């Protein structure tokens, strides 16, 4: 039986987040242990040089003609570094996937919608979600999420600088799989390993309603050198930054009082935001129209928005009515149902 085709979305249609995910906390590994050794964000002053031509013509200026108002560039900035005796960075977080059936949060009529139409749309979406639970499309989505856990895409810049990364996934204190992250591709979703299949099966259990299907992920990141290496937690956005303030890094905990003698202040434990991790995990969309030329997966979003490419890969011409029905009003943090629809379409 096929679902009905609807000409427009209702006045209220919203889907809620389908993943419970924690921040990824940063630790130092010292003599094989990491639990008592958090990585701290430290706020301090720094003196650099101006590297911005403030007065030259952007079209014609050359270095010799550049006029700088000041040579010195005195800033306050945040830095996160490992301890001098640290061997590696440890990053750890936990996540749980929620039952597909809870994805639809609200479906209500607008001024021009009739109650029977809304009831039919809700029934159609509920019907699709029930079929999706046992579909190969859902299994493929789970495998893709498992790959992005295993390849440590979620470590972002820390992954680019690493010499080696080991990712361990556990469930109920039992190790499920261990991965050599740098050997697992970022841009392909095929040839899944046995470990990826095992992680994907737990993800599927969560999507099908198992509330105990929780994953704990621990990554050991070696940078090839020992000591106070700079690492990279999430960065905060500040709309009105004070003059001379370079950047603010994301951290958890209570900041120390400012030491006026040296101007150094410990701000808290360095971490990656749950949103940043989620964006990395859902970078599984290879179904957008220009994938053959761009050759990179993007985060699953209705408009195909990509910060890396600074563009939208989808518009009204490339989204069908069925796709709009599923994805047109989804929030930016949950597109599992949309991904299942894409996977199903690719298989047809």
Residue 69 lies in a domain: no
In a domain, 250, yes or no: no
Q: In the prediction, which pLDDT does 143 show?
A: 95
pTM for the predicted model, two decimal places: 0.83
Nearest to 238, CA basis, from 36, 102, 77, 125: 77
Please say whether the beta carbons of 231 and 158 come within 8 A. yes
Q: According to the model, what pLDDT value does residue 324 have? A: 43
Candidates 157, 274, 169; CA nearest to 221 is 157
Return the pLDDT at 72.
74
Q: Going from the first residue of the chain to its last (348 residues), give the mean pLDDT of each consecutive group of 10, the final group possibly shorter.
A: 64 82 96 91 82 61 57 81 95 93 80 77 84 88 96 96 96 93 95 96 91 93 94 88 81 79 82 95 90 88 84 73 39 42 44
Please check whether residue 326 lies inside any domain of the structure: yes
145 within domain boundaries: yes
pLDDT at 126: 84
Nearest Cα to Cα of residue 75 among 47, 43, 41, 42? 47
pLDDT at 56: 59
Name the residue range of residue 110's domain.
Answer: 12-39+82-234+273-347
Say how many domains are in the chain: 1
Quote the pLDDT of residue 27: 97
Residue 260 lies in a domain: no
Burial 308-328 (b: 16+ CB within 10 A, else e): eeeeebbeeeebeeebebbbe
Which pLDDT belongs to residue 335? Answer: 42
| Model pLDDT, residue 325 | 37
- On whether residue 26 sits in a domain, the answer given is yes
Interatomic CA distance for residues 192 and 144, integer angstroms? 9
Burial class of 155 by CB neighbour count within 10 A (0 to 12, 13 to 18, 19+): buried
């Amino acid at each position: 039986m096929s679902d009905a085709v609807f000409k427009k979305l209702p006045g209220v249609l919203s889907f809620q987040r389908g993943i419970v995910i924690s921040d990824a906390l940063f630790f130092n590994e010292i003599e094989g242990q990491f639990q008592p050794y958090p990585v701290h964000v430290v706020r301090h002053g720094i003196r650099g040089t101006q590297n911005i031509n403030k007065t030259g013509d952007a079209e014609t200026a050359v270095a010799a003609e550049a006029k700088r108002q000041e040579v010195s560039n005195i800033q306050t900035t945040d830095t996160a570094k490992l301890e001098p005796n640290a061997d590696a960075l440890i990053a750890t977080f936990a996540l749980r996937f929620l039952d597909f059936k809870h994805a639809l949060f609200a479906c209500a009529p607008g001024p021009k919608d009739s109650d029977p139409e809304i009831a039919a749309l809700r029934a159609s979406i509920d019907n699709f979600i029930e079929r999706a639970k046992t579909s190969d499309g859902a299994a493929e989505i789970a495998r893709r999420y498992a790959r992005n856990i295993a390849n440590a895409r979620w470590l972002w810049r820390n992954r680019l600088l690493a010499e080696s990364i080991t990712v361990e996934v556990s469930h109920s204190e039992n190790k499920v799989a261990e991965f050599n992250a740098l050997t697992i591709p970022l841009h392909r979703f095929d040839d899944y390993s046995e470990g990826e299949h095992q992680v994907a099966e737990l993800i599927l259990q969560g999507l099908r309603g198992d509330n105990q299907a929780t994953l704990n992920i621990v990554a050991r990141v070696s940078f090839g050198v020992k000591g106070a290496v700079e690492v990279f937690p999430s960065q905060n956005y500040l709309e009105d930054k004070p003059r001379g303030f370079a950047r603010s890094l994301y951290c958890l905990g209570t900041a120390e009082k400012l030491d006026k003698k040296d101007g150094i202040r410990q701000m808290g434990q360095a971490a990656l935001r749950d949103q940043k991790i989620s964006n990395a995990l859902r970078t599984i969309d290879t179904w957008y129209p220009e994938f053959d030329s761009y050759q990179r997966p993007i985060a699953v979003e209705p408009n195909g928005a990509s910060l890396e490419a600074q563009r939208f890969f989808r518009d009204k011409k490339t989204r069908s009515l069925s796709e709009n029905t599923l994805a047109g009003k989804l929030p930016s943090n949950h597109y599992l149902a949309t991904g299942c629809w894409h996977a199903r379409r690719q298989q047809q």
